[in-house]
Structure 1
Amino acid sequence: MHDEPDPTTAPQAPSDAEAAPAPRRRFEDLPPAAQRALKEAEARRKEIDERQKVLPREIDGRGGLEPTRYEDWEIKGLTADF
């Protein structure tokens, strides 16, 4: 028997990308312009969600979110402007 470890089962050192995840930035740590942009985007999403709630329920529709919720036609993340 050998006293040397089997190289095929020896533990590998983690690569730099796997060693430690990047620290998450807190909202307070962002520059004021980034904070303002995030707040504006959140307000727009809330407005869109409120508009969605007042629309009549579609019968036998395509399902999912309203494809014109951003004022453009959107399917599977692709947007077409008519």
Structure 2
Amino acid sequence: MSEKKDLPPAAIRALKEAEERRKKAEAEAKAMPKELGGRDGPDPARYGDWEKKGIAIDF
């Protein structure tokens, strides 16, 4: 906590706002329903893996 004392007030305020946004995003993610029948592993839109068991898929 002593690290934050060395920061200017604007930086402390920005860190507090970022923490609030992070908590809000986590709460929204928990509120989302779980996907049924979705892919296992990494998100294909993020990692560019558009196939499943060798068959190309499209959304």
TM-score, normalisation: structure 1: 0.44
The answer to which structure has the higher helix fraction is: 2
Structure 1 unaligned regions, length at least 5: 1-24, 66-73, 77-82
Structure (1 or 2) with the larger CA radius of gyration = 1
Match in the other structure for 2:46: 75
Structure 2 distance, partners of 1:27, 1:39, is: 11
Aligned length: 44
Structure 2 distance, partners of 1:37, 1:29, is: 14
TM-score, normalisation: structure 2: 0.59
> Tell me, what secondary structure is at the counterpart of 2:21?
helix
Runs of 4+ with >3 A deviation: 61-65
1:6-64 per-position Cα deviation (integer Å, ceiling 9, x unaligned): xxxxxxxxxxxxxxxxxxx7011100000000000110010000000010011224656
Structure 2 unaligned regions, length at least 5: 48-59
Q: Aligned-residue CA RMSD in angstroms?
A: 2.6
- Could you tell me the percent identity over the aligned residues? 45
